[in-house]
Amino acid sequence: MLKLLSSTAASCPQAHAFATVPALRTKPSSSSPLFDALSQLTRLTARRSRTVTYRRFFCSDSSGDSGEDGSLAEVELKDAKADSEESDPKSSSAIVSTSPRPEDYLTVLALPLPHRPLFPGFYMPIYVKDPKLLAALQENRKRQAPYAGAFLLKDEPGIDSSGSETEKSVYDLKGKELFNRLHEVGTLAQITSIQGDQVVLIGHRRLRMTELVSEDPLTVKVDHIKDKPYDKDDDVIKATSFEVISTLRDVLKTSSLWRDHVQTYTQHIGDFSFPRLADFGAAISGGNKLQCQQVLEELDVYKRLKLTLELVKKEMEIRKIQESIAKAIEEKISGEQRRYLLNEQLKAIKKELGLETDDKTALSSKFRERIEQYKDKCPPHILQVIEEELTKLQLLEASSSEFNVTRNYLDWLTALPWGSYSDENFDVLRAQQILDEDHYGLTDVKERILEFIAVGKLRGTSQGKIICLSGPPGVGKTSIGRSIARALNRKFFRFSVGGLADVAEIKGHRRTYIGAMPGKMVQCLKNVGTANPLVLIDEIDKLGRGHAGDPASALLELLDPEQNANFLDHYLDVPIDLSKVLFVCTANVVENIPNPLLDRMEVIAIAGYITDEKMHIARDYLEKTTREACGIKPEQVEVTDAALLGLIENYCREAGVRNLQKQIEKIYRKIALKLVRQGALSESAVAGEVVETDNAKAENVDESSQKIAGSDMKVEAETVETSSHNQTAETAVEAVTIQTDDQSQSDVDLKDITEREKVQDNEAAKAVEKVLVDESNLADYVGKPVFHAERIYDQTPVGVVMGLAWTAMGGSTLYIETTQVEQGDGKGALHVTGQLGDVMKESAQIAHTVARSILLEKEPNSPFFANSKLHLHVPAGATPKDGPSAGCTMITSMLSLAMKKIVRKDLAMTGEVTLTGKILPIGGVKEKTIAARRSDVKTIIFPSANRRDFDELTPNVKEGLDVHFVADYSQIFNVAFSDEQNKEK
Ligand code: ADP
């Protein structure tokens, strides 16, 4: 007997049970050589293992509700009469010899099959839930008549066959009802085993129910039906069966599910039994139960083969689809696994070759760590860019240039303070205190800042604004910027745009350039570490002209509150929010600021300081900070008011206080050196040594060098109690150091001249002297007073008049001079010198004409202008920033010459004149007033239109000035050429 071991895969939805059986030898008369070989083989095998043959099959499910899916059933078959079977061709389909023979069964128990019909030659385990039926089956087996009819159950009309409801109700069906629900054609099934309610059937031959015999258990009468006769050499049948076989082979190739069965079948059965082939194909195909039932009912062999072919072809298609689905899924999974594996391998290889440095991971974790603190506040698109760059970094070669670019980029990206702000101070009183602490005066600037804070307090947030501080150098624009930052509790960052021509300084380079850097603003944010700093942009009026791109428009993009919420730096390539930044710009000349920028700014002018203000600044601010910076204690030094005043009046006459600060620093540096020297001398004296200076120059100490240096320094020494010696000693120490450092006279060599002096009293060694600087010894510290061009004449001579100008350096006084070059009939002409623009030249011409007409009025007979060639000079520094304002000064100068009258003493004037003699308003009243005060002017003439400007000045600026406001030149004439003045002369 043929031994078959059928092991199949676990899930086989389309077949519930199957096995090829040797009973295929239904036609021993077959002349097929294959069959003969097969018969021989089977006989041999049967003899060798006569007694027991194991058949295994795998069954997925037969009852649906058993829950024992995939149970492996081992069936033992007794093969006792195999030989006799062979000798009796009629019993070929019997697997277990029984008496009576299968064909003798004409009345059988009807077993309902819920899922599929049973094909001859196949196993099928079913579950019998009906106890009566089960008992009857067992009874049959005992009576050596283990046969029953297996019939497929029809679907209940109107109910979907797949529903589990039907399965359950199968077991409730009884008698006639069941009879009517069964298909007529079924299979004679041999009961091979009964275990519990599991009954294993083997299909034998086709049956047709004819009538109902008894109802419970259902017993029916049956006819045994045979296939219609066919011609086994029929080409069409052969071809069809070959096609079935080759399709089965294809199925086999794509799936190992039925491999064993198909192989066995095609190898051993070959083409000898076409009806069996058809049954086999149908049984293993995935056809539904009706299609299978159709095959079972078909008795025409050719038609049955055709039906089977359809089923297996369909099966093949399903296989293909299944395969492609499986392949796609497998590819996806394996693709990911592959990637992972390759990445791991790559890492390992790189590590092995030393390419993968630990730096890389360290770098990544450093960047991750940095960004961790901003994770909640950082905009998501930034986080995404960082994440992408980090991934990129991992994949790049550590030695490649791109790696460096990415690393630097990440360095910048992660170093910025995304969404991190410093807590702003909205406390007006505290802010006021801070501002006052740092700067004297500047009331309007401070007021504006306090307003800003007040608005911030009411609104809850302060908005980015652009404040522009304008004024001459040294008036404290930069330092007040710093102070505002302190008052607002914002971080401070300063950068100067003076001469800036490269747009990349502001907008950054593109990352592709070697050595690319982000712009100043990004650098600033990295530097300060908060997103709301105060940024001071210095010298905005001195912006350069870029050859590629305009720095002014780049700055505009940066500053404009409308645009800078999404400022895009070329390097960073992600927008950054600058709307919370407070911008403060500084400029000397507001007119030079590009207009679009100026439009968006709030200009606060700082005019400069008068002597009185400078005194306060010097005393309360500059001196204090310098003293601290030099490490000198207050008790060690005293600079008298007279000394300070002398310093301000004779050395530092400019609008700002920077020079004053420099001079004070100079004084304190010298004092520091002096104190240290004295200390050193005292220490040496304690040791009882004769002190000699180590300076080589010291040997050249002589009278001449002392002369250059000026007078000896006067030092008042006071004894101070020292902590180490609890004794006081009074000692007078003579001057030991004479030093000159006169920068204004740069041709004078600076020499340190040291004189040795024996310390007379050892006990006084540790005494520290108090240095006194007063008016008399001021020159020792800062050199001789600077020659001052502003005030040359005590009384201006004929043809010379003092004017007031307003320049980038602040206000200033200047002399406008006119002399007569030539005289003669018709020689009347004007020659102008000085760095004058076209406007000023025209202004001079106008002045000439107006002066002539006025003289005609005053002295009708004077031929002066008609016959004199005049030379008018305007000093260079006077080029005013607000256009011409020297018209009236020029007229007065010419008239003075023409009439040979001097103008009033200590008079200065400013104003532009029309051809008809009307006076036009001017700018910079405050600056000019301050300048006039500095030059000891007593009387000022201003255009009457400027009266308001003057009235707004603080009383200390206006104090003691005789100011005339004029609308017409005749008024000036009256003031300037007052007769007393000329009478005096
Ligand atoms: P600017 O930027 O206008 O050229 P700075 O801000 O550099 O001038 O000021 C020069 C120096 O003068 C600074 O040390 C500053 O502290 C000091 N200074 C200017 N104005 C005042 C003031 N009103 N009170 C105290 N110090 C002042």
Average pLDDT over residues 75-102: 39
Query: pLDDT by residue (tens digit) across 264-311?
Result: 555 555 445 788 888 888 888 777 888 899 999 998 989 999 999 998
Catalogue the long-range contacts made by 383-390 (C-beta closer than 8 Å, 24 or more residues apart). 385/413, 385/573, 385/574, 386/410, 386/413, 386/414, 389/413, 390/364
* Cβ-Cβ contacts under 8 Å for 560 (sequence gap 6 or more): 600
Quick one: pLDDT at residue 585? Answer: 93
Q: In whole numbers, what is the pLDDT of the chain averaged over residues?
A: 76
Arithmetic mean of pLDDT, 778-788: 78
Residue 453 has what pLDDT? 84
Closest approach atom of ligand 1 to CA 622: 26
Per-residue DSSP letter, 788: -
Sequence-distant (≥ 6) Cβ neighbours of residue 434 within 8 angstroms: 483, 486, 487
Distance from the CA of 306 to the center of ligand 1, in angstroms? 108
| Per-residue pLDDT at 514 | 81
What pLDDT is attached to residue 871? 93
Residues near 489 by beta carbon (within 8 Å), at least 6 away in sequence: 422, 423, 424, 425
Q: What is the best residue among 484, 658, 663, 927 to mutate for testing ligand 1's pocket, by most ligand atoms within 8 Å of CB? A: 658
Task: Pick the residue whose CA is nearest to atom 22 on ligand 1.
Answer: 439
Please state the atom number of ligand 1 nearest to the C-alpha of residue 469.
3
Whole-structure pTM over 0.85, yes or no? no
pLDDT of residue 356: 58
> If you search the block for the tokens 């991750």, which residue do you land on?
368
Contact 526, 415 (CB under 8 A): yes
User: What pLDDT digit, counting tens, does each position of 60-72 carry?
Assistant: 333 333 333 333 3
pLDDT beyond 90 at 965: yes
The pLDDT of residue 40 is: 37
Q: How confident is the model at residue 884 (pLDDT cuts 50, 70, 90)?
A: low
Q: Which residues pair with 907 in a beta bridge?
A: 939
Answer for the pair 113, 107: CB distance below 8 angstroms, yes or no: no
Q: Which of 525-539, 774-788, 898-912 has the lowest mean pLDDT?
A: 774-788
Q: Are 864 and 898 in contact (CB under 8 A)?
A: yes
pLDDT by residue (tens digit) across 752-772?
433 444 444 443 444 556 788
Residues 6 or more apart in contact with residue 45 via CB below 8 angstroms: 1, 2, 3
Give me ligand 1 centre to Cα 826, in Å.
56
pLDDT value at position 354?
66
Q: Report d(CA 764, CA 768) in Å as an integer.
A: 9
pLDDT band at 208 (very low <50, low <70, confident <90, very high): very high
Say if residues 957 and 930 touch (Cβ distance below 8 Å): yes
Q: Which of 479, 584, 604 to mutate to test the pocket of ligand 1 (most atoms within 8 A of CB)?
A: 479
Residue 886 clears pLDDT 80, i.e. is over it: yes
Which is nearest to 108 in space by CA: 226, 227, 207? 207
Q: Among 306, 285, 320, 287, which Cα is nearest to 242's?
A: 306
Distance 592 CA to ligand 1 centre (A): 22
What percent of the chain is predicted at pLDDT more than 90? 11
pLDDT, residue 357, reads 59
> Which position has the token pair 């000045």?
953
Closest residue by Cα to atom 18, ligand 1, is: 476
Enumerate residues 6+ apart whose C-beta is below 8 A from 744: 651, 783, 784, 786
pLDDT for 53 beyond 50: no
Q: Under a CB-based contact definition with an 8 Å cutoff, are residues 819 and 798 in contact?
A: no
Confidence of residue 392 (pLDDT cuts 50, 70, 90): confident
Which ligand 1 atom lies nearest to the CA of residue 480?
Answer: 6
Contacts of 925 (CB under 8 A, 6+ apart): 942, 946, 949, 950, 953
The residues, any chain, with a CB within 8 Å of residue 537's CB and separated by 6 or more, are 494, 495, 496, 497, 555, 559, 583, 584, 585, 586
Q: Are 923 and 846 in contact (CB under 8 A)?
A: no
Atom of ligand 1 nearest to the CA of 439: 24
What pLDDT band is residue 16 in, cutting at 50, 70 and 90? very low
Q: Which atom of ligand 1 is nearest to the CA of 620?
A: 25
User: pLDDT, tens digit, for every residue of 911-920?
Assistant: 888 988 898 8
Per-residue pLDDT tens for 708-746?
343 344 444 333 333 334 333 333 333 333 333 444 343
Q: What is the pLDDT of residues 366-391, one digit of tens each?
A: 888 888 888 888 888 888 898 898 88
Ligand 1 neighbours by CB, cut-off 6 Å: 439-442, 473-479, 586, 617, 621, 656-658, 661
747 C-alpha to ligand 1 centroid (Å) = 29
- Cα-to-centroid distance, 815 and ligand 1 (Å): 29
Question: Which ligand 1 atom minimizes the distance to the CA of 621?
Answer: 25
Q: Which of 268-277, 688-697, 860-869, 948-957 has the lowest mean pLDDT?
A: 688-697
User: From ligand 1's centre to the CA of 443, what distance in Å?
Assistant: 14
pLDDT at 590 over 80: yes
Closest residue by CA, ligand 1 atom 17: 476
* Alpha carbon nearest to ligand 1 atom 24, residue: 439
Q: Is the pLDDT assigned to residue 637 strictly greater than 60?
A: yes
Q: Ligand 1 pocket test: which of 492, 540, 657, 665 has the largest number of ligand atoms within 8 Å of its C-beta? A: 657
Any idea which of 53-62, 127-136, 720-729 has the lowest mean pLDDT?
53-62
User: Catalytic residue numbers?
Assistant: 885, 928
CA separation for the pair 617, 645 (Å, rounded): 12
Count how many residues are written for the chain.
Answer: 985
Protein residue with its CA nearest to atom 20 in ligand 1:
476
Judged against a pLDDT cut of 50, whether residue 30 lies above it is answered with no
Residue nearest to atom 9 of ligand 1 (CA): 476
Average pLDDT over residues 29-43: 36
Give the mutation target among 475, 614, 930 for probing the ligand 1 site: most ligand atoms within 8 A of CB. Answer: 475
Q: From the centroid of its chain, how far is CA 924?
A: 47
* d(CA 808, ligand 1 centre) in Å: 16
Tell me what the mean pLDDT of segment 118-146 comes to. Answer: 85
Nearest atom of ligand 1 to the alpha carbon of 438: 25
Check if the beta carbon of residue 618 is closer than 8 Å to that of residue 648: yes
- Residue 520, pLDDT > 60, answer yes
Range name among 58-72, 447-461, 463-477, 941-955 with the lowest pLDDT average = 58-72
* 3 state SS of 170: helix
Least confidently predicted of 27-36, 295-304, 337-346, 413-422:
27-36
Mean pLDDT over 352-374 rounds to 77
Please say if the pLDDT value at position 240 is more than 70.
yes
What separation in Å is there between the alpha carbon of 544 and the centre of ligand 1? 25
Structure tokens at 516: 């690319």
**CA 267 to centroid of chain Cα atoms:** 71
Task: Count other C-beta atoms under 10 Å from residue 835's C-beta.
Answer: 11
